[in-house]
Structure formats: structure tokens, C-alpha cells
Structure 1
Amino acid sequence: MEPVIAPPGSSPVDELIASLETPAQRADTQTLVELFSDLSGQPAVLWSGRIIGFGEYHYRYESGHQGDSPALGFSPRKGKFALYGLLAEDGAESLLPALGKHRRGVSCLYVNRLADVDIATLGELARRGYAHTMKELHRP
């Protein structure tokens, strides 16, 4: 995955937010951008056209495949958000019952809208996941 480099005076993240279909989805996306940026201390960067990421790490599999990925991120999809990096820390499972309405994927969480989840729990999952990724997986 490669981040999209913004030309001067524009922001691909802002353009993505403006392109979302509903005001509610735009508002939830802006809230996630602010929350994840505050927790990570990193600016929002657009990856692969639809993933808003914060920080990055380099991965390398035993097969030799390698690449760069956001340490924390999300993708606003039609009718839901895919949240990445929140399950990286071993203790994440213990927080999921307090999160609220969500669905778990292989490596991500899905939520329909932020009103369905506890924002404090979401923030704690994001904080722990980001810290774990940067400490355990980030290799400059």
C-alpha cells in the first residue's frame, strides 16, 4: 500500500470525506479522523484511495512478501466503517464486550455508525493497538 501524497493546498482525506454520501457518514468520519489523530499524534494520510491511516509500519512475512501499512486506520464504506489496528494488542478482546454494536473480521472491526459504540472504549482500543504496533512491529 502506498500513501497518497497531497499536492500543495489540497487534502485527499478532506476530498474523501466530502465525497461520502450522507452527512452522518461525513460527521462520523471526521470524528474518527480527530480521535485517531489525537491518540496517535499522527496526521491523517490517505492510503490506497479509501483507507485513512495514522502512522505506518513496515511488515515482512517469512515468504519474503513485504510492504508498508498504516499502524492505525479506518475505511468509510457504504453503510459501515472498517477499523484497522484496533485488535493488535493482546488485551483487545477483553474490551470488545464494552464496545457496543460491532462485528469482528479477521483483522478488523466493523461498526455501522459511531452512535452504536462507546467512544471511550473505541478510543482505548485504538490507543492500545497503535502503541502495540509501533512498539512491537515498527522497524525503521
Structure 2
Amino acid sequence: MADPAQVPPDVRELVDAVEHPVRRRDAETLLDLMSRATGETPHRDGSIVGFGRYRYEYASGRSGDAVAAGFAPRKARTVVYLMDGIDAHREDLERLGPHQHGVGCLYLKDLERVDLAVLERIVADSYRTLTAGTYGLRAREGGT
């Protein structure tokens, strides 16, 4: 369970408002896991619980900053954001357990069914990649 003193009130409010008991339990687990994996304190970014920020600049010239690691407890499943792209984590994803994914999102229905050590490694690797300097790839280009 995340140290209550380290969870800002707006993040606590978001997690406590999750109605589905499995999503709420998984959100508590992810608060701990992502805090360890990133060394960051959680912050709220809309409906996302974020950890740290990264700077991106694409070849098109578009640039900005975004959450470096994060999750969102959605109604149907929890979303873990991997903005360096799913392909960058292909080998670990084979060992993760039941999941679905998009280009930069990992969808998990129940964290008790996945290998949390593998998930923590994926989050840590993604965070390290994104925060190593200005990141220049879009999620669909990551890991290639």
C-alpha cells in the first residue's frame, strides 16, 4: 500500500472514487509499483495518475512534455501508459500474463493475474528511456 503521506490529496481522491473494487485495488498496487519503478511521487494529470514528466520533440517540430509513467483506472480495465511504445517491451510482455495492448497502452483487467515483477521492470525501463533526454519518437515508432 502506498505511503499515505506520499500520495497527494488529488491523487487519493481519484483512486478512492474508483467504483470497481478490482480497479481500485489495482490502482493502490500501481501507486506502490510505479513509485518504486520511477522514484517519483504520484501526481494527477486529469484522469491519469502520473509519475514524473518527459520532454518530447518530433521530427515534425512538434514538442511538449507529458507524463513519463502513468496509469488510469478505467471502468473495464486499467490502462498503463508506455509512451516509448509497446514494441520496446515485447520480450517482457510475453512473460507478463493476461493483457491487451494498443500502440502505447497496456490494458490490464486484474493485476493478481500478471507478474508484477515483470510489470515493474517494464515501467522502469520505459521511464528510464523517456527521461534520458528529449525523446524523439512517437509510441508507434518506439522499440524499432
Aligned to 1:111: 108
Q: Partner of 2:91 in structure 1? A: 94
| 8 A contact 1:88–1:133 mirrored in 2 | no
1:27 match: 25
Percent identity between the two aligned chains: 37
Give the partner amino acid of 1:60: E
- Tell me, in whole angstroms, the C-alpha distance in 1 between the residues paired with 2:101 and 2:10: 28
Stretches of structure 1 that go unaligned for 5 or more consecutive residues are: 1-9
Q: Structure 1 residue runs of 4+, over 3 Å off? A: 86-91
Q: Describe how 1:1-140 pairs up with structure 2 within 5 A.
A: 11-47=9-45, 49-85=46-82, 88=85, 92-137=89-134
- The code of the aligned residue for 1:38 comes to R
- Aligned partners of 1:112, 1:136: CA distance in 2, in Å? 32
TM-score (norm 2): 0.80
Please give the root-mean-square deviation of Cα atoms over the aligned residues, in Å: 2.1
Does the 8 Å CA contact 1:86/1:109 hold for their aligned counterparts? no
Q: Contact conserved, 2:51 with 2:67, CA < 8 A, in 1?
A: yes
Q: Which residue of 1 aligns with 2:4?
A: none
Partner of 1:72, secondary structure, is strand
TM-score for both structures, normalised by structure 1: 0.82
In structure 1, distance between residues paired with 2:54 and 2:84: 16
Partner of 1:5: none
- SS in structure 2 of the partner of residue 78 of structure 1: coil
**Cα distance in 2, alignment partners of residues 64 and 87 from structure 1:** 18
Deviation string for 1:25-84 (max 9, x for gaps)? Answer: 21110110111011111000111x211110101222233322210111111111201111
For residues 73-123 of structure 1, what are the alpha-carbon distances to aligned partners after superposition, in whole Å with 9 as ceiling and x for unaligned? 111111201111275587511111100001110111111110221111101
